[in-house]
Amino acid sequence: MSNPIRLVIFGRQGAGKGTQCVRLVETFGVIHVSTGDVLRGAVAAGTELGLKAKAIMDAGDLVSDDIMNGIVRERLAEQDIVENGVVLDGYPRTTAQAEALAMVLGDDGLHAAIDLDVPVEEVTERMKARGRADDTEEGIRRRLELYEQETRPVLNWFAARDLLVTVDGLAEEAVVTERLLSTVRSLVES
Ligand code: AMP
Protein backbone atom coordinates (compact mmCIF):
# COMPACT_ATOMS: atom_id res chain seq x y z
CA MET A 1 0.00 0.00 0.00
CA SER A 2 1.30 3.47 -0.81
CA ASN A 3 1.96 6.00 1.91
CA PRO A 4 -1.38 7.71 2.58
CA ILE A 5 -1.55 11.50 2.42
CA ARG A 6 -1.31 13.30 5.74
CA LEU A 7 -1.89 17.03 5.70
CA VAL A 8 -2.78 19.91 7.94
CA ILE A 9 -4.73 22.78 6.38
CA PHE A 10 -4.86 26.38 7.57
CA GLY A 11 -6.86 29.30 6.29
CA ARG A 12 -8.68 32.36 7.52
CA GLN A 13 -12.43 32.25 7.82
CA GLY A 14 -13.79 32.96 4.36
CA ALA A 15 -10.69 31.59 2.60
CA GLY A 16 -12.68 28.69 1.15
CA LYS A 17 -11.03 26.01 3.26
CA GLY A 18 -14.24 24.00 3.70
CA THR A 19 -14.91 23.81 -0.03
CA GLN A 20 -11.31 22.96 -0.85
CA CYS A 21 -11.24 20.21 1.80
CA VAL A 22 -14.20 18.61 -0.01
CA ARG A 23 -12.12 18.64 -3.22
CA LEU A 24 -9.20 16.94 -1.43
CA VAL A 25 -11.55 14.25 -0.15
CA GLU A 26 -13.08 13.71 -3.62
CA THR A 27 -9.72 13.63 -5.38
CA PHE A 28 -7.49 11.71 -3.00
CA GLY A 29 -9.97 9.79 -0.84
CA VAL A 30 -8.44 11.26 2.32
CA ILE A 31 -10.49 11.62 5.50
CA HIS A 32 -11.31 15.20 6.50
CA VAL A 33 -11.10 15.71 10.27
CA SER A 34 -12.32 19.08 11.54
CA THR A 35 -11.79 19.29 15.28
CA GLY A 36 -14.44 22.03 15.46
CA ASP A 37 -16.93 19.57 13.92
CA VAL A 38 -15.83 16.82 16.32
CA LEU A 39 -16.44 19.14 19.29
CA ARG A 40 -19.78 20.42 17.95
CA GLY A 41 -20.83 16.80 17.45
CA ALA A 42 -19.91 15.99 21.05
CA VAL A 43 -21.88 19.02 22.29
CA ALA A 44 -24.92 17.99 20.24
CA ALA A 45 -24.68 14.41 21.52
CA GLY A 46 -24.34 15.61 25.13
CA THR A 47 -21.27 13.47 25.83
CA GLU A 48 -18.90 14.17 28.71
CA LEU A 49 -16.50 15.82 26.27
CA GLY A 50 -19.36 17.89 24.86
CA LEU A 51 -20.37 19.11 28.30
CA LYS A 52 -16.80 20.20 29.03
CA ALA A 53 -16.27 21.78 25.64
CA LYS A 54 -19.51 23.74 25.35
CA ALA A 55 -18.76 26.54 27.82
CA ILE A 56 -15.22 26.90 26.50
CA MET A 57 -16.39 27.14 22.90
CA ASP A 58 -19.21 29.53 23.78
CA ALA A 59 -16.64 31.82 25.42
CA GLY A 60 -14.51 31.68 22.26
CA ASP A 61 -11.63 30.06 24.15
CA LEU A 62 -9.55 27.06 23.19
CA VAL A 63 -10.26 23.60 24.53
CA SER A 64 -7.22 22.31 26.45
CA ASP A 65 -4.27 20.81 24.60
CA ASP A 66 -4.60 17.57 26.61
CA ILE A 67 -8.17 17.03 25.52
CA MET A 68 -7.49 17.96 21.89
CA ASN A 69 -4.34 15.85 21.65
CA GLY A 70 -6.25 12.86 23.05
CA ILE A 71 -9.09 13.29 20.56
CA VAL A 72 -6.76 13.58 17.57
CA ARG A 73 -4.43 10.77 18.68
CA GLU A 74 -7.38 8.37 18.94
CA ARG A 75 -8.91 9.47 15.66
CA LEU A 76 -5.61 9.09 13.76
CA ALA A 77 -5.32 5.49 14.96
CA GLU A 78 -8.65 4.50 13.39
CA GLN A 79 -8.49 2.22 10.40
CA ASP A 80 -10.06 4.56 7.82
CA ILE A 81 -7.33 7.14 8.40
CA VAL A 82 -4.51 4.62 8.63
CA GLU A 83 -5.59 3.37 5.19
CA ASN A 84 -6.72 6.56 3.45
CA GLY A 85 -4.80 9.37 5.11
CA VAL A 86 -6.09 12.57 6.63
CA VAL A 87 -6.57 16.30 6.24
CA LEU A 88 -6.55 17.89 9.68
CA ASP A 89 -8.57 21.09 9.85
CA GLY A 90 -8.62 23.22 13.02
CA TYR A 91 -5.75 21.27 14.59
CA PRO A 92 -3.05 21.98 15.65
CA ARG A 93 -4.12 25.34 17.13
CA THR A 94 -1.09 25.74 19.43
CA THR A 95 2.58 24.84 19.16
CA ALA A 96 2.07 22.31 21.98
CA GLN A 97 -0.52 20.60 19.79
CA ALA A 98 1.91 20.68 16.85
CA GLU A 99 4.54 18.97 19.03
CA ALA A 100 2.02 16.34 20.09
CA LEU A 101 1.06 15.71 16.46
CA ALA A 102 4.71 15.28 15.50
CA MET A 103 5.09 12.71 18.28
CA VAL A 104 2.05 10.75 17.10
CA LEU A 105 2.95 10.79 13.40
CA GLY A 106 6.71 10.44 13.85
CA ASP A 107 9.44 11.75 11.57
CA ASP A 108 8.25 12.19 7.99
CA GLY A 109 4.73 11.42 9.14
CA LEU A 110 3.26 14.63 7.78
CA HIS A 111 3.51 15.57 4.09
CA ALA A 112 2.87 19.26 4.71
CA ALA A 113 0.93 21.98 6.43
CA ILE A 114 -0.88 23.94 3.74
CA ASP A 115 -1.76 27.57 4.26
CA LEU A 116 -4.64 28.49 1.98
CA ASP A 117 -3.75 32.13 1.85
CA VAL A 118 -6.34 34.82 1.14
CA PRO A 119 -5.55 38.36 2.32
CA VAL A 120 -7.51 39.89 5.19
CA GLU A 121 -9.12 42.54 2.95
CA GLU A 122 -10.49 39.91 0.58
CA VAL A 123 -11.92 37.55 3.25
CA THR A 124 -13.48 40.59 4.94
CA GLU A 125 -15.27 41.47 1.69
CA ARG A 126 -16.37 37.86 1.19
CA MET A 127 -17.76 37.61 4.73
CA LYS A 128 -19.57 40.93 4.44
CA ALA A 129 -21.10 39.77 1.18
CA ARG A 130 -22.54 36.57 2.68
CA GLY A 131 -24.28 38.72 5.30
CA ARG A 132 -24.59 36.29 8.20
CA ALA A 133 -25.88 37.70 11.49
CA ASP A 134 -22.48 37.38 13.20
CA ASP A 135 -20.71 38.92 10.22
CA THR A 136 -20.71 42.47 11.53
CA GLU A 137 -17.64 44.51 10.70
CA GLU A 138 -16.52 44.36 14.33
CA GLY A 139 -17.20 40.62 14.63
CA ILE A 140 -15.28 39.86 11.45
CA ARG A 141 -12.33 41.97 12.56
CA ARG A 142 -12.19 40.31 15.97
CA ARG A 143 -12.29 36.79 14.53
CA LEU A 144 -9.55 37.60 12.02
CA GLU A 145 -7.37 39.14 14.71
CA LEU A 146 -7.80 36.08 16.87
CA TYR A 147 -6.89 33.84 13.95
CA GLU A 148 -3.73 35.85 13.38
CA GLN A 149 -2.68 35.72 17.05
CA GLU A 150 -3.51 32.05 17.41
CA THR A 151 -2.31 30.70 14.10
CA ARG A 152 0.82 32.66 13.22
CA PRO A 153 3.03 30.88 15.80
CA VAL A 154 1.76 27.52 14.58
CA LEU A 155 2.44 28.42 10.94
CA ASN A 156 5.92 29.52 12.02
CA TRP A 157 6.40 26.19 13.79
CA PHE A 158 5.75 24.32 10.53
CA ALA A 159 7.81 26.79 8.49
CA ALA A 160 10.80 26.23 10.78
CA ARG A 161 10.57 22.53 9.95
CA ASP A 162 10.23 23.11 6.20
CA LEU A 163 6.71 21.75 6.25
CA LEU A 164 4.75 24.90 5.42
CA VAL A 165 3.42 25.24 1.90
CA THR A 166 1.46 28.33 0.94
CA VAL A 167 -1.25 28.04 -1.69
CA ASP A 168 -2.48 31.33 -3.11
CA GLY A 169 -6.23 31.27 -2.50
CA LEU A 170 -6.95 34.55 -4.22
CA ALA A 171 -8.63 33.39 -7.41
CA GLU A 172 -11.80 31.73 -8.63
CA GLU A 173 -12.70 28.59 -6.73
CA ALA A 174 -11.81 26.21 -9.57
CA VAL A 175 -8.44 27.86 -10.08
CA VAL A 176 -7.62 27.56 -6.39
CA THR A 177 -8.68 23.91 -6.47
CA GLU A 178 -6.24 23.24 -9.34
CA ARG A 179 -3.43 24.97 -7.43
CA LEU A 180 -4.18 22.95 -4.32
CA LEU A 181 -4.48 19.60 -6.08
CA SER A 182 -1.26 20.08 -8.01
CA THR A 183 0.53 21.14 -4.82
CA VAL A 184 -0.64 17.99 -3.05
CA ARG A 185 0.23 15.79 -6.04
CA SER A 186 3.79 17.10 -6.06
CA LEU A 187 4.07 16.59 -2.30
CA VAL A 188 3.02 12.99 -2.61
CA GLU A 189 5.30 12.29 -5.56
CA SER A 190 8.40 13.85 -4.04
P1 AMP B 1 -13.52 25.81 14.56
O2 AMP B 1 -14.78 25.30 13.93
O3 AMP B 1 -12.29 25.14 14.05
O4 AMP B 1 -13.42 27.30 14.53
O5 AMP B 1 -13.61 25.40 16.11
C6 AMP B 1 -14.66 25.87 16.93
C7 AMP B 1 -14.19 25.93 18.37
O8 AMP B 1 -13.81 24.63 18.82
C9 AMP B 1 -12.97 26.80 18.61
O10 AMP B 1 -13.33 28.14 18.79
C11 AMP B 1 -12.40 26.20 19.88
O12 AMP B 1 -13.13 26.59 21.03
C13 AMP B 1 -12.66 24.71 19.67
N14 AMP B 1 -11.53 24.04 18.99
C15 AMP B 1 -11.53 23.47 17.74
N16 AMP B 1 -10.33 22.94 17.45
C17 AMP B 1 -9.54 23.19 18.52
C18 AMP B 1 -8.18 22.91 18.83
N19 AMP B 1 -7.36 22.28 17.97
N20 AMP B 1 -7.71 23.33 20.05
C21 AMP B 1 -8.50 23.97 20.93
N22 AMP B 1 -9.78 24.27 20.69
C23 AMP B 1 -10.31 23.88 19.51
- 92 touches 120 (CB < 8 A): no
Neighbours of 95 (CB within 10 A): 14
Please tell me if the CB atom of residue 39 comes closer than 6 angstroms to any atom of ligand 1: yes
pTM of the model: 0.95
Compute CA distances 188 → 17, 56, 183, whole Å.
Answer: 20, 37, 9
| pLDDT tens, residue order, the chain (190 aa) | 468 999 999 999 999 999 999 999 999 999 999 999 999 999 999 999 999 999 999 988 999 999 999 999 999 999 999 999 999 999 999 999 999 999 999 878 999 999 999 999 999 999 988 878 878 889 899 889 999 999 999 999 999 999 999 999 999 999 999 999 999 999 988 7
Ligand 1: distance of its center to the CA of 73 in Å?
Answer: 16
User: CA-CA distance, 75 to 187, in Å (whole number)?
Assistant: 23
Q: Which atom of ligand 1 is nearest to the CA of 72?
A: 19
CATH for 6-34+85-189 is 3.40.50.300
Please tell me if the CB atom of residue 57 comes closer than 6 angstroms to any atom of ligand 1: yes
**Which of 14-48 are b and which e, b meaning 16 or more Cβ less than 10 Å from the residue's Cβ?**
bbbbeebbebbeeebebbbbbbeebbeebbeeeee
